[in-house]
Amino acid sequence: MPMMISASLNIAMRGRGQQLRSAPLGMVAATVLLALLPLTHPSEYLLSFLFIAFMYASLASSWNIVGGFAGYLSFGHAAFFGIGGYATGLALLHSGWSPFITAIPAALLAGLFAALVGYPVLRLRGPYFALVTLILTMVVRLVVMNLSWTKAAQGFWLPFPPFDNWTSRAVFYEVMLAILVLTLLVVRWVQYSKLGIGLIMIRNDEEAAQTFGVDATFLKVTAFVLSAALAGLVGGIFAYYRTYVHPNTMFDAYISVTTVLMALFGGRHIWFGPTLGAITLSVLSELLTLSIGTEIARVVFGLLLVAVVVTMPDGILGFTSRSARAHDGSWLKFLRREKWKS
């Protein structure tokens, strides 16, 4: 297993400089092509499928800032997703403000919440951290369930976006694509920034890292806030997409767990790993459902996932790059930018 970690790092840090340098170009090309997709007038079904796939790709990528880079496996991503969803939903309900705008302050709210809970929660490690983040989501859900101003257990409906059905799907598709691109840019920046190097130090040995001047608490909370804000943004758009906001759909442990599995599946140590995992798994799951029916598909899908996570602890990227050799042991080779902000 350590060998595979190193292999995936080869990509991230030293080897495959070529591949890495071309990745952003590939990203620009992919973004442009995907953004033009609605011009071919695809079905609502395809647009909806891609919306959800991009949503999970963004969630898995933002989760990875804490779960992958810092090595703190959070099972509470849905808490931030839900807070974003409720904030935008309530803003639309009470003030009529469009979620396409209020999703931004809602994301900041999710980030603020992460800053508050981050200090105590990020003191925990390993299974304790995982468990507490899971419980955190349940607690937030319970609180929302019992407050009248969040419409308690009834949830609430939102007005439909002012478009016809197809246009609405196309608009949501474009917005989620933009959010995914934004997420990837942030995560990629984090990976190659001073912050990212600090998070790798924390993942390797938090105590030793501190003796080299790493303010572990500050870096972890910063990562947690970034991660949460991006999830909140996604949650805000999702609430509008669903037009129905309910504690069970917004604070759904299934979302947290799926996010973690997708990131693990793709590869946690590389910025584009979780996106790869999310897209692959979304397509796979959809194909299985279409071919053998929902129920059997779930079982097959679950088993497959377990098999992959057990046999490839570093995800498909870690696995395929095991032969990656060329490196010069430096961080600089693939980092073109000279100046780094902390």
Partner 1 sequence: MSSRNVLQGEGVTLYFGGLAALKGVDFHVDEGEIVGLIGPNGSGKSSLFNLISGLMRPTHGRITFLGHDLARFRPHQIAHLGVGRTFQIVRPFAELTTLQNVTASALYGQRLASVVEAEHRARDTLRFVGLVDHHDQPVRDLPLAFKKRLEIARALATGPKLLLLDEVFAGLNPVEIDGAIELIFRIRDELDITVFMIEHVMKAAMQTCQRIMVLGEGKKIAEGLPQDIARDAAVLAAYLGPAYA
**Binding-site member from 18, 45, 126, 205 for partner 1 (CB under 8 A):** 205
Q: Residue 79 or residue 209: which is nearer to partner 1 going by CB?
A: 209
**Residues present in the chain in total:** 342
**Binding-site member from 60, 181, 209, 245 for partner 1 (CB under 8 A):** 209
- The answer to the question of residue 211 lying near partner 1 (CB under 8 A) is yes
The torsion angles phi and psi of 101, rounded to 5 degrees, stand at: -100, -45
Angle between helices 77-95 and 253-266 (to 10 degrees): 130
DSSP E strands in the chain: the ranges are: 156-157, 244-245
Q: Considering only residues 215-254, where is the footprint of partner 1 by CB under 8 A?
A: 215-216
- The DSSP 8-state label assigned to residue 161 in this structure reads P
Stretch that binds partner 1, among 18-26, 107-115, 212-220, 223-231 (CB under 8 A): 212-220
Stretch that binds partner 1, among 133-141, 204-212, 273-281, 303-311 (CB under 8 A): 204-212
> To the nearest whole angstrom, how small is the minimum distance from the Cβ of residue 104 to partner 1?
29
Paired sense of beta strands 156-157 and 244-245, if any: antiparallel
- The answer to the question of residue 201 lying near partner 1 (CB under 8 A) is yes
- The DSSP 8-state label assigned to residue 68 in this structure reads I
Angle between helices 44-64 and 216-242 (to 10 degrees): 170
Q: Considering only residues 9-28, where is the footprint of partner 1 by CB under 8 A?
A: 9, 13-14
CB 116 within 8 Å of CB 91: no
> To the nearest whole angstrom, how small is the minimum distance from the Cβ of residue 264 to partner 1?
17
Q: Residue 111 or residue 318: which is nearer to partner 1 going by CB?
A: 318
Stretch that binds partner 1, among 104-112, 194-202, 234-242, 277-285 (CB under 8 A): 194-202
- The answer to the question of residue 140 lying near partner 1 (CB under 8 A) is no
Containing 114, the helix (H) or strand (E) segment is: helix 99-121
**Binding-site member from 2, 96, 120, 162 for partner 1 (CB under 8 A):** 2
Q: Could you tell me which residues come within 8 angstroms of residue 135 by beta carbon, excluding any fewer than 6 positions away?
A: none
Of 141, 144, 158, 176, nearest to 54 by C-alpha is 176
CB 250 within 8 Å of CB 143: no
- The answer to the question of residue 330 lying near partner 1 (CB under 8 A) is yes
- The answer to the question of residue 207 lying near partner 1 (CB under 8 A) is yes
The torsion angles phi and psi of 244, rounded to 5 degrees, stand at: -135, 125
DSSP 21-42: HHHHHHHHHHHHHHHHGGGG--
> To the nearest whole angstrom, how small is the minimum distance from the Cβ of residue 15 to partner 1?
11
- The answer to the question of residue 270 lying near partner 1 (CB under 8 A) is no
**Binding-site member from 213, 294, 295, 311 for partner 1 (CB under 8 A):** 213
Q: Considering only residues 286-315, where is the footprint of partner 1 by CB under 8 A?
A: none
The residues pairing with 157 across neighbouring beta strands, listed in sequence order, are 244
- The answer to the question of residue 341 lying near partner 1 (CB under 8 A) is yes
Q: Residue 203 or residue 242: which is nearer to partner 1 going by CB?
A: 203
> To the nearest whole angstrom, how small is the minimum distance from the Cβ of residue 209 to partner 1?
8
**Binding-site member from 116, 165, 167, 328 for partner 1 (CB under 8 A):** 328
Q: Classify 282 in phi/psi space as left (phi over 0), alpha (psi -120 to 50) or beta.
A: alpha
Which two tokens mark 89?
Answer: 């939903």
The residues pairing with 156 across neighbouring beta strands, listed in sequence order, are 245
> To the nearest whole angstrom, how small is the minimum distance from the Cβ of residue 120 to partner 1?
16
- The answer to the question of residue 325 lying near partner 1 (CB under 8 A) is no
Of 323, 337, 336, 273, nearest to 16 by C-alpha is 323
Gap between the Cα atoms of 154 and 229, Å rounded: 26
Q: Residue 73 or residue 197: which is nearer to partner 1 going by CB?
A: 197
- The answer to the question of residue 123 lying near partner 1 (CB under 8 A) is no
List residues binding partner 1 (CB under 8 A).
2, 5-6, 9, 13-14, 194, 197-198, 200-201, 203-205, 207-216, 327-332, 335, 338-342
